[in-house]
Amino acid sequence: MSTGGRRLVGRLIALGVTGSIAAYKAVELLRLLTAEGADVVVLLSPSAQRFVGPLSFAALSRHPVETDVLDLLPDGRIGHIVIADSADAFVVAPATAHWLAAMASGLAGDVVTAAALATSAPMVVAPAMDGDMWRHPATVSNVSRLRDVFGYAVVSPEAGPLASGQSGMGRLAELPSIVDAVVAALAERPIRQPDPASRPPLAEGLIREADLAGRRIVITAGGTREPIDPVRYIGNRSTGKMGVALAEAALARGARVTLIAAAVEVPLPVHADVTHVETTAELREALATAMGLGSPGSVGSGAGSGAAAGGRRQTRSGPGAGAPDALVMAAAVADFTPAAPSERKIQRRDRLHLELSPTPDLLAEIAAAADARAVTAPAGRPVLVGFAAETGSLDRAAEKLRAKGVDLLVANDVSEPGSGFGTDTNRVTILDRSGTVESLPLLGKLEVANRILDRVATALDARDAAAQTAGAKPPSTATRGST
Ligand code: CTP
């Protein structure tokens, strides 16, 4: 079998991630291991999940992520034991001082330690912590026990800037040297031909090609908050899970993703360009930039823009200019905003009347602006996807699709159990302009995201084909495949 120079073809690597500030680097480590041909399955300790969410790893590894010692696979097997038994090598990166101590003592309180105790695969451990913690006699003795008694390969941390702001030993080793250590740990071992039934399952329906490579997709997520005064706001129950799942799935399929995050309660994708917003007015402004439409005023007009000030919006890395290929508007946008938010905290009193003004319909504005621009650049209209949160019936969905001028509308009944705010699952119906209605069963949000992106990918291909037939150059031709 030709491996094309890839050093981990045919290997199943368990990647354990524990709760260090360096946990986000494990996403890149997963990519590097995969690029070497490895099949990677991820286990996250509870504290690791405070830094990076399981969705990032599930979307990239295409396996369910183990997060709990009590989790069973759909077929009833114990998830972390299946990984322990089938992994060719087990790498823990970053490994915290706490994890090293638990492992040295054989305390199996989380999935990473439990699987490590249960495996006979070679172990590679890459610690990361504060310099004083690394030098502490407890850590020194734990590391030497793992190395000398257990036979683990330890990829020592390096000197450099630390999370504490100080500089010293403790930074996670450079990722290529961790990959090299995994390769070295397996050097003498023949590639096994395990029974597929004994291996960790693939995540349900997550097998997609990189069919969005070269595409840029703007996704909004979470609920907007409209200030009443400096202390209080009008908000909604959105947690941002659906929007974040869309961003993770789009990234895993090769897209460049601009994520505009309102109030989001789950970890954000590591590789997205994230713009944080709070109010509908800030979202409107961020959308105008991300969609390459200039100032919000040039998108349309309406109430709500007055609250744009306040300076709460932060940009981690700004989206590039120019129209993206698609917008997926998963954010729960306030329909009303206090007409005159108070600059000072409103005192307790017998009664309070709040005057609310309607916000502009951002999606309808974007659709109108995209239509106007499409007259001069027919190939450039982004595929627009709206959501419709309904309670009780989806009867209004078709009219919403028409009124907002979107290509696809994803409707769900948020009052149904397992569907809607804060859940890990969703039951949605996808409507399109031609009148097709696709009702999906109850699915995990990552799978729902992929089903929506399947439709976006198809719509984009149709758009490009139409543009080519019309003799126009598809807008993405220059950049496709470049990411
Ligand atoms: N939306 C928007 N601007 C608003 C309100 C909603 O762009 N001011 C977007 C949402 O992000 C979503 C879609 O429009 O993609 C539908 O949102 P929904 O709340 O279901 O519909 P509304 O337009 O608010 O209509 P209604 O309140 O009558 O249900």
Distance 364 CA to ligand 1 centre (A): 9
In order, the DSSP letters of 314-342 are EESSPPPSS--SEEEE--B--SEEESS--
Of the listed ranges 5-19, 84-98, 313-327, the least confidently predicted one is 313-327
Residue 290 near residue 249 (C-beta atoms within 8 A): no
pLDDT in tens, 138-171: 999 999 999 999 999 999 999 988 777 778 889 9
Q: What is the pLDDT of residue 173?
A: 97
Q: What is the pLDDT of residue 6?
A: 92
Pocket of ligand 1 (CB under 6 A): 329, 331, 333, 335, 359, 361-363, 386-389
Q: What ligand 1 atom has the least distance to the C-alpha of 388? A: 20
Q: What is the pLDDT of residue 204?
A: 63
Beta bridge partners of 414: none
Residue 306 near residue 281 (C-beta atoms within 8 A): yes
**Which of these, 33, 142, 141, lies nearest to 90 by C-alpha position?**
33
User: What would the two tokens of residue 110 be?
Assistant: 């989380």
pLDDT in tens, 268-321: 988 899 999 999 999 999 999 999 887 665 554 433 333 333 333 333 333 334
**Domains located in the chain, CATH noted:** 12-198 (3.40.50.1950), 216-482 (3.40.50.10300)
**Which of these, 162, 169, 179, lies nearest to 21 by C-alpha position?**
162
Residue 3 has pLDDT above 80, yes or no: no
Residue 324 near residue 367 (C-beta atoms within 8 A): no
User: What would the two tokens of residue 94 be?
Assistant: 């970053």
Q: What ligand 1 atom has the least distance to the C-alpha of 410? A: 15
Residues in the chain: 483
User: Residue range 420-430: average pLDDT?
Assistant: 88
Task: Tell me the backbone φ, ψ of residue 452, rounded to 5 degrees.
Answer: -65, -45
Sign of the C-alpha dihedral computed for residues 226, 228, 230 and 232 taken in this order:
negative
Residue 440 has pLDDT above 70, yes or no: yes
Task: Tell me the backbone φ, ψ of residue 272, rounded to 5 degrees.
Answer: -90, 155
Distance 281 CA to ligand 1 centre (A): 14
pLDDT in tens, 408-422: 999 998 888 888 788
Place 262 in a pLDDT band, splitting at 50, 70 and 90.
Answer: very high
Q: What is the set of active-site residues?
A: 236
Rounded to whole angstroms, the Cα distance separating 243 from 241 reads: 6
pTM assigned to the model: 0.78
Tell me whether residue 317 is exposed, middle or buried, using C-beta atoms within 10 angstroms of its C-beta: 0 to 12, 13 to 18, 19 or more. Answer: exposed
For a ligand 1 pocket test, name from 226, 301, 363, 366 the mutation site with the most ligand atoms within 8 angstroms of its C-beta.
Answer: 363
* Strands in 213-324 per DSSP E: 216-221, 226-227, 233-234, 256-261, 273-276, 314-315
Rounded to whole angstroms, the Cα distance separating 238 from 334 reads: 11
